[in-house]
């Protein structure tokens, strides 16, 4: 297994895979998001209690899902960097961090917009909202630590440790509505006894969730490719400066 992971961590192999996958994933993301969002915001029926306010769900739920999913990916990449010293894993974790932070910010903002007409308040310090806010700060901390050291590897290790330790927040986010009394509703899609929302709302929601996942893959691949190019340019500049010296 370590040998297989090392082969995937090769920048040259990554570039080949990314160049082959990126166009297809980009088209898939555009189609899924286009169909899902238009279906949800325009053609899906209003909720019998919340009315058209429920349409915020088609942005909020996928963003909230991606906020935790991105962090889980970042934590796994960080663990791989700490255990096997995969430099590409460190680079990918750094690339995933701002993407996850953006998804988390969208989840918090749309949650506030949804909460005001539903709960009568923009924000409450209940377990779910507070733990998601903590997640946002974990992303910010990861980005700050990554850039805090002149030695890139030291910064990567510090950020990786934070990412791994911060993963304890993920089950808290997931089960907070069951462990504590909160305003936030429980799961209505991924349940052992099946979804509790009508198919007319479920299908556009699932399409949008899949579209957000594909968007994450696109953004992650683009950011990793850009960082690899930036580091290659940096090496060439140092070599040229050394030659002149």
* CA pair distance 68, 3, nearest whole angstrom: 29
Whether 8 is covered by a domain: the verdict is no
Residues in the chain: 245
Count structural domains, the chain.
1
In a domain, 239, yes or no: yes
Rounded CA gap, 205 and 61, in Å?
A: 8
Instruction: Report the C-alpha gap between 18 and 243 in whole angstroms.
Output: 33
> b vs e for 129-150, b when ≥16 Cβ sit within 10 Å of the residue's Cβ?
bbbbeebbebbebbbebbeeee
Residue 101 domain-assigned (yes or no): yes
Does residue 158 belong to any structural domain of this protein?
yes
Digit-by-digit pLDDT tens for the chain (245 residues) are 345 455 556 788 889 999 999 999 999 999 999 999 999 999 999 988 888 999 999 999 999 999 999 999 999 999 999 999 888 999 999 999 999 999 999 999 999 999 999 888 999 898 999 999 999 999 999 999 999 998 889 999 999 999 999 999 999 999 998 888 777 776 666 655 556 688 899 999 999 999 999 999 999 999 999 999 988 888 888 888 877 65
**In-domain check, residue 99:** yes
Q: In terms of residue numbers, what domain contains 235?
A: 26-43+56-192+204-244
Please check whether residue 188 is in contact with residue 202, taking contact to mean a CB–CB distance below 8 angstroms.
no
Asked whether residue 12 is assigned to any structural domain, the reply reads no
Note the pLDDT of residue 230: 87
The reply to whether 112 falls in a domain is: yes
Asked whether residue 74 is domain-assigned, the answer is yes
Q: What global pTM score does this model have?
A: 0.91
């Amino acid at each position: 297994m370590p040998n297989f992971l090392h082969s995937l961590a090769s920048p040259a192999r990554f570039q080949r895979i990314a160049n082959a996958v990126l166009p297809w994933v980009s088209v898939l993301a555009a189609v899924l998001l286009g169909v899902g969002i238009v279906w949800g915001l325009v053609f899906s029926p209003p909720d019998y209690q919340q009315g058209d306010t429920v349409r915020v769900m088609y942005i909020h739920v996928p963003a909230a899902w991606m906020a935790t999913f991105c962090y889980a990916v970042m934590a796994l990449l960080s663990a791989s960097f700490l255990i096997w010293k995969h430099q590409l894993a460190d680079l990918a974790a750094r690339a995933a961090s701002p993407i996850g932070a953006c998804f988390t910010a969208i989840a918090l903002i749309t949650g506030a917009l949804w909460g005001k007409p539903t709960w009568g308040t923009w924000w409450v310090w209940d377990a779910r909202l507070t733990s998601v806010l903590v997640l946002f700060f974990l992303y910010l901390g990861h980005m700050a630590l990554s850039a805090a050291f002149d030695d890139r590897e030291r910064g990567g290790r510090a950020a990786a440790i934070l990412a791994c330790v911060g993963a304890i927040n993920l089950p808290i986010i997931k089960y907070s509505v069951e462990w504590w009394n909160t305003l936030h509703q429980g799961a209505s899609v991924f349940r052992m006894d099946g979804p509790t929302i009508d198919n007319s709302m479920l299908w556009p929601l699932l399409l949008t969730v899949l579209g957000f996942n594909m968007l994450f893959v696109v953004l992650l691949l683009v950011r990793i490719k850009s960082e690899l190019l930036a580091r290659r340019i940096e090496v060439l500049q140092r070599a040229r400066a050394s030659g002149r010296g």
